[in-house]
Structure 1
Amino acid sequence: MKKILLVSSALACIASASPAMAQSASTDEAEQDGGLNVIVVTAQRRQESVQDVPIAISAFNAAELETRGVSNALEVTQFVPNLVGLNNTGLGTANSYYLRGIGNTESIATFDPPIGTYVDDIYMSRQNANNLSFFDVDRVEVLRGPQGTLFGRNTTGGAVNVFLKEPGDEFAGYVEAGYGSYERYMVRASVDVPLADTFAVKVSGYFQDDQGYAINTTNGERANQNDGWGVRVGFRGELSDNARWTGSYIRTHADAGNIVNFDCDPANPTNCDGRFVTTGFSKNGNFGGRLTGPKNDFGLGNEVDMNFVSSNLELGFGDLTVNLITGFVDIKQNFALDFADGRGLPNTGNPIPPVAGYTFGGFTISNQGEHTQFTQEIKVTGSLGDGLLDFVGGVYYFHEDNTTDFGDLFTLPFAPAPTGFPIILADRTINNTAEAWAGYVQADVNLSEQLKLTAGIRYTDEKKSFDIRDNRASCNDGSIEASCINTINLTAANGAAIPPNQSVGLWTPRIALNYKASEDFLIFASATRGFKSGGWNARGTSATELLPFGPETAWSYELGAKTEFLDNRVRLNVTAFWLDVSNLQTPSAFIRGNGSIAFITRNFADYRNKGIEVELNTAPVDGLNLFASLGYQDDEYRIDANAPAFDAFGVQSVPAQQAACLGQLAAGLLPNTAGADNASSCGAGIVAPDGSLAEPVRTPDWTISIGGSYDAEMGGGLSLVPSLNANWRSKSEVGTSELTLFDQAVTGPNTGTVYPSNTQGLGSPIVPSSGSFSAARWIVNGSIALKSDTGWSLTAECKNCFDQESVESALANYSYLNPPR
């Protein structure tokens, strides 16, 4: 069995009976002539060639996604410059994107992601289920930089737009089946059914199941599986000469985890053949009545069910086109996740906590969430003045309701196993809503055949509400004590009232100038504003920690060129950018004195990033396609040295914290230790252990992606298509405070305590699996496919072929690794 698994790790064989990928409006005659295909995108809310859009955009049609082995939204991030993608800690169904340094790893509903995810123009506000499996995709567009004018709020970093295939005109379909590592089975299928000359339906689905790539050496279970299924029914109706309707219903179920795991077995450090977990919290476990409601009975795992409905009615009125775009998304998520591997959390005094296998986990969050949203947009596009002015405009409405019932359980370190001494840090239910209205317009003024001026503006009016109640019996017996986590107790530690409502009205303009020197050469310059909504620090475990944070706003300035040459066989796009963000929302987690995790998010600082992005595609000879992309960025936090020492809620400002940290270091105190030895202002928030401003997270200086494929004709209607790609990231930090434990002991100046490790960079090896430092790494993927012109193919592929390990995230000093080969 072990030999079989090793073989299937390198060659995940997929037997397929599929036609060539339909590309609908994504290609034109250029591909048939042997050059590069032309991808039609809607980055400006109307159809245009990607080479004519004055926006930094990476676009992939279905054929390109297939060639590069992309099967879900997260895998796209490997091919986009200055984009880092990862699963949220614990959650294999949720993607966090960091684009040009802007991102967020929080999935609780009082936070909004700054990289918007859209499916067929429908905004998905929650990260909980955005790791979409690609089983019916026409193209993916990644828009880099703020998109506040045409896409609105929560796009300060950019947007990921997924467009699904429309039903075809003929009865046709495909089936794929596959088997791979960790006993993974996969089936995908789709069929187009024309019901009339003017109406067609597409029915698609997928199913996948595996055993999980990590083994729990405490209870024998496997962890971090990626199971799920989905079905989609798509509709297309040509209702009349000037009326067209498309729509979809999607139902998905995902069971995917990303709990902390290790490359060597913590219970047997000499065993490094695989990935390992040692929590004693099991899949069929429960919390023995310690938590309230259904979440008390959740076992280890994460499950998400989503219903997605979209409708787009397009009406033509001469030179005007009106689209009525309606969306509804309903997400239900249940999870119980141990973030401490059934033991204590690493710290300077105990850098490698011994395996305990606590029954309820080391630090466990159990969560039952329900999230619904409704969107309605009326979009108008058209042309005026005999082509002098092309415009798009409209109005947009968004409403969201969220209910999150969750509890935090912490098992005190060094308590006797297996039960230990579990304490409930909090058990509460949050209800929060968001409602937004927006109006927008953008116009292209065609000053000449070569010169075009683009100007647009959007106004957004947004209101949010926040309500919380403590689920403990003592807080629901007719009285609410001051210790209860309840809306009426929302008061900061300094006595300031915490508002349960927020509202904001913001203008987000855009202006761009592009000059098309020839059909194959476009240069552009632009300035764009975007904003991300405010929210509440809802992971606090006392009412005083539930602090609000305000919106973050961004201005982005770009200068770019889009070029094609050598008879459409080489495409080179280059963009330079300067990004200024005010009031950056920065999440941080730290370990309290009792060993539990505390979470806080504040508008700690401003942020600046500048860099360059290069994308190269070439088809030097028929059948051979090569690509490369390069991203460089240079970023920093920026703070006001004259800011007050404390804000309105009593939170210390970063300059004051830095000054305090430097004073503590000068007095000989040690960061991240305990008691009288501790330099408490160091290694917290965005202040590094040495008192400097921390390096912004997930912004490697360099990102590089290279690869290619070759379609070799073999005769007899057969062709062999090898494909290889690799992506490289330079070193980076993945934790806001730059906390990494180093393997050298230090002695406390006041207590004489010997701490086996330190966070000041003393000693060369880093304590294994503890910290936020992510070393530079290469990830290599490859495949080889035998294809027949009759429609069948056989493919062998590997992802992360050389089993490269990389730190993707960190939480409370534990490192989270990327998936194995």
Structure 2
Amino acid sequence: MNRFVKTALLAGAASCALSTGAMAQNASVNATAGESSLGDVIVTARRRDEQLKDVPVAVSAISAETLQQTGATDITALQQQTPNATVQIARGSNSTLISFIRGVGQQDPLWGFEPGVGLYVDDVYIARPQGAVLDIFDIQRIEVLRGPQGTLYGRNTIGGAIKYVTSRLAAEPEFMIRGTVGSYDERNFLGQASLPIGDTFAIGGAIATYDHDGYGTNLNTGQDQYDKDVTAYRASAEWTPSDNLFVRLAWDKVEDNSSPRHGHREVVSSTGNYRPPANVYDTNAGIVGEQKVTTEGVSLTGEYRLNDTITLKSITAYREGDTATVIDFDETPLPTLDVPALYSDDQFTQELQILFEGDRWSGVAGLFYLDGTSSGVFDTIAGNLGLSIAAAGSVDTKSFSAFADFSYDITDRLHASIGGRYTSDDKEASVYRAFFLGATRSPLTGGVDRAPLLVRTNYTASDTFDKFTPRASLSYDFSDDVTGYVSVSQGFKSGGWDMRGDAALTPQTVDGYQPETVTAYELGLKGTALDGRVQFASAAFYSDYQDQQITVQQVATPPAVGIASIVDNVGSSSIYGVELEGTAFLTDALTARASIGYLKNEFDEYVTFITGSPVDISDTKEPQNSPELSAFFAVSYTAPVLGGELVVTPSVSYRSDYHLFDQPDPVLDQDAYTLLDVGAVWTSPSGHFEVGVFGKNLTDEQYRVGGYNFPGATYNNSISAFYGPPRTWSVQLTARY
């Protein structure tokens, strides 16, 4: 590993540049030296097909084959293989996604509060994080774009974007079936097929089920903890009547019926009656109720090549989702802090693109429209107060944007690119919050019908948030093998209103919060060395994060009662770091892949109104989900076995210590940890059969990925944490024709 890193860094230093970039870790690339390069990898990071080495954007392209070799089952595996990225399942959830890239993201998945990392499936924007932990099947690759992508992707990509890219249907009939068994009674099934009908039409579909028992148990109710019960469907039809026209109709659906996921109490309760369970996956949670997430979407994509210069593209999509969940914040049988919740969302999007390609120039321009609604209701059942605190609301968003991005070859080696996007978000919100007597569900979540004791919040508001976000880059081919670039880009996330806001406790909540922006500067270098045996991309970046939207918990003190939050533009940060990714073809049979990320994220300002007047407390705060060091290293060894091919891939990933909240907490802060995985896949001589054996987290590391922090006697000292998966193993059988 040290030899590889040294070689890559020396290659970057020889051109007097640090860089931001990424290496495609593509298992379909032949491991023989000289037979592959970055130019073999095609990505769509700039909304058009380009060779990865020519893209002045920090992008990782990880193929389905690479993910399969390491036993990855869902997109949270990106966290291990992508530098400076956090991709996790949200606390108290089974399928809600929390993403941070370069220290920018969103921990709070509440409706109306938008994520900071954009998620796309075949260029269709996924507005809400519920149901967004996508399982890895029926894909070609996943692209991770690091840094703000405000020009070409626009909405809420201030941290970056994750693109889930599926393959077009094959010209010949294809069929694949896969079964997996493993620890915790894991039972996964995947079946997918495509069938051409005539010369111009094809249909395809896939169904996948993912099941395993819980890593722990609810010691109070007997239910599984951290189990999985997910079914996913996809279907598509493609029509290609000529070389110039392509049309795809696609549908997908995900149903998550896993048990409620509660946290692990980390400290003794204030009454002394409840202690942390010995198993970090166990809980004593008392709340019961439905746990179900359903998301569904349909899209229509059309591409028409008008001539050798111009291609027209349309992407029309509709998506909707519903979530019912129960969360026990106090992790005891008592209703001290129990939260039943219901979420619902829908979105319609339309994007029109015109792609240009000339002898020395290329580009894309387009229009984007979103019409979406996100709504929800939840109770905070506060048993010690004898209250149920109900919150409900909705946000209607109509977003329009126009964008363009063009590249021009000034010389054969010098290339310039410039782009910009204008976004206008019209939002209308309604927020309601009330106290109901009795530590049971309120009428809003199905409890006994009764009048509220106190209405704390009841307002509607509307506003328009608009912004122009530019991007510019200059790249230079130092040789046919090495390209460097410098770029500046900006991202924008619009403002809104806190759906939990208590106007009686914090009157300013009715004013909402304003947009936040990130402006990033990058130097990039990527290419090959040692006659193609080393492919690399080194990186340096600086980001200026302004008007940062942060959720701050406001706990009332007597004579007031209750618990609330306020979302406000309290912070600004300076973020800088270095990234390196690469592949080394050590021999014809041995390939090494590595990534290293260094991240320094510091608050410049953190203004709070705790004392009634603005106070900067940035010296007491730490950004969340921003480990200073992240690293990944894997070696793949290929050998002939039984007439077929065996690929063995051990891998190791590392994350240094980090904070779960912006307030440092010795109980919840996560220490550095290392994960060790191994995968072995044997392919039969015919290529029709595969056998895979996988081990994950072989050293059985215990590490926190989320938590809740409500200390003090009023809330029974409710400090809880959620943990990543323990050691697991699985065996996988695949047949394809």
Q: Give the TM-score taking structure 2 as reference length.
A: 0.86
Aligned to 1:587: 551
Point out the more displaced range, 361-370 or 600-609.
361-370
Secondary structure of residue in 1 paired with 2:53: helix
Which of 363, 366, 369 does residue 337 from structure 2 map onto?
363
Point out the more displaced range, 170-179 or 33-42.
33-42
Aligned to 2:679: 783
Q: Larger relative CO (CA 8 A, sep 6+): 1 or 2?
A: 2
1:239: Cα distance to partner?
2.2
Matches within 5 A, 1:233-632: 233-256=235-258, 257-261=260-264, 272=278, 275-281=281-287, 285=288, 298-299=289-290, 302-318=291-307, 319-342=309-332, 357-358=333-334, 361-384=335-358, 387-412=359-384, 422-426=386-390, 428-469=391-432, 483-488=454-459, 500-541=461-502, 545=506, 546-547=509-510, 548-589=512-553, 591-593=555-557, 597-632=563-598
Secondary structure of residue in 2 paired with 1:711: strand
Matches within 5 A, 1:746-785: 771-785=667-681
- CA distance in 2 between counterparts of 1:481 and 1:371 reads 26
Deviation per residue, 1:221-264 (Å, 9 max, x gap): 21221211011102221122321112310011013454202699
After superposition, the Cα gap between the structure-2 partners of 1:552 and 1:653, relative to the gap in structure 1 and judged at 3 Å, is same
- CA distance in 2 between counterparts of 1:581 and 1:203 reads 42
* Residues 88, 258 of structure 1: 8 Å contact kept: no
After superposition, the Cα gap between the structure-2 partners of 1:590 and 1:518, relative to the gap in structure 1 and judged at 3 Å, is same
* Residues 266, 720 of structure 2: 8 Å contact kept: no
Aligned to 1:82: 84
1:43: Cα distance to partner?
0.4
1:74: Cα distance to partner?
1.1
Establish whether residue 708 from structure 1 lines up as the match of residue 682 from structure 2. Answer: no
| Structure 1 residues without counterparts, runs of 5 or longer | 1-22, 286-297, 343-356, 413-420, 489-498, 659-686, 741-770
Aligned to 2:653: 727
After superposition, the Cα gap between the structure-2 partners of 1:431 and 1:31, relative to the gap in structure 1 and judged at 3 Å, is farther
Secondary structure of residue in 2 paired with 1:501: strand
- CA distance in 2 between counterparts of 1:375 and 1:32 reads 44
Secondary structure of residue in 1 paired with 2:626: coil
Deviation per residue, 1:535-568 (Å, 9 max, x gap): 2121235565444111101110000100112332
1:155: Cα distance to partner?
0.6
After superposition, the Cα gap between the structure-2 partners of 1:635 and 1:271, relative to the gap in structure 1 and judged at 3 Å, is closer
- CA distance in 2 between counterparts of 1:543 and 1:139 reads 49
- CA distance in 2 between counterparts of 1:138 and 1:90 reads 31
Q: Give the TM-score taking structure 1 as reference length.
A: 0.77
After superposition, the Cα gap between the structure-2 partners of 1:376 and 1:268, relative to the gap in structure 1 and judged at 3 Å, is closer
User: What is the identity, as a one-letter code, of the residue corresponding to 1:129?
Assistant: G
Which of 185, 198, 201 does residue 199 from structure 1 map onto?
201
User: What is the identity, as a one-letter code, of the residue corresponding to 1:484?
Assistant: V
Deviation per residue, 1:571-600 (Å, 9 max, x gap): 110110000011011123365448965322
User: What is the identity, as a one-letter code, of the residue corresponding to 1:538?
Assistant: M
Aligned to 1:496: none
* Residues 439, 460 of structure 1: 8 Å contact kept: yes
Secondary structure of residue in 2 paired with 1:275: coil
Establish whether residue 739 from structure 1 lines up as the match of residue 665 from structure 2. Answer: yes
Deviation per residue, 1:94-125 (Å, 9 max, x gap): 12111111111111121110100000000101
- CA distance in 1 between counterparts of 2:170 and 2:298 reads 20
C-alpha RMSD over aligned residues: 2.9
Establish whether residue 216 from structure 1 lines up as the match of residue 256 from structure 2. Answer: no
Which of 68, 73, 76 does residue 75 from structure 2 map onto?
73
- CA distance in 2 between counterparts of 1:218 and 1:732 reads 32
Give the number of the structure whose residues are more often strand, by fraction.
Answer: 2
* Residues 604, 653 of structure 1: 8 Å contact kept: no
* Residues 487, 500 of structure 1: 8 Å contact kept: no
- CA distance in 2 between counterparts of 1:628 and 1:120 reads 27
1:62: Cα distance to partner?
1.3
* Residues 540, 600 of structure 1: 8 Å contact kept: yes
Point out the more displaced range, 523-532 or 463-472.
463-472
1:322: Cα distance to partner?
0.4
Matches within 5 A, 1:157-196: 157-196=159-198
- CA distance in 2 between counterparts of 1:818 and 1:92 reads 12
* Residues 388, 435 of structure 2: 8 Å contact kept: no
User: What is the identity, as a one-letter code, of the residue corresponding to 1:165?
Assistant: S
Aligned to 1:288: none
Deviation per residue, 1:245-286 (Å, 9 max, x gap): 1231001101345420269999997974563111122xxx3x
Aligned residues: 674
Secondary structure of residue in 1 paired with 2:77: helix
Aligned to 1:794: 691
- CA distance in 1 between counterparts of 2:215 and 2:323 reads 22
* Residues 35, 567 of structure 1: 8 Å contact kept: no
- CA distance in 2 between counterparts of 1:100 and 1:792 reads 40
Aligned to 2:94: 92
Aligned to 2:701: 804
Which of 122, 127, 130 does residue 128 from structure 1 map onto?
130
Establish whether residue 814 from structure 1 lines up as the match of residue 711 from structure 2. Answer: no
Secondary structure of residue in 2 paired with 1:168: coil
- CA distance in 1 between counterparts of 2:35 and 2:386 reads 66
* Residues 34, 533 of structure 2: 8 Å contact kept: no
Percent same amino acid among aligned pairs?
Answer: 25
* Residues 700, 730 of structure 1: 8 Å contact kept: yes
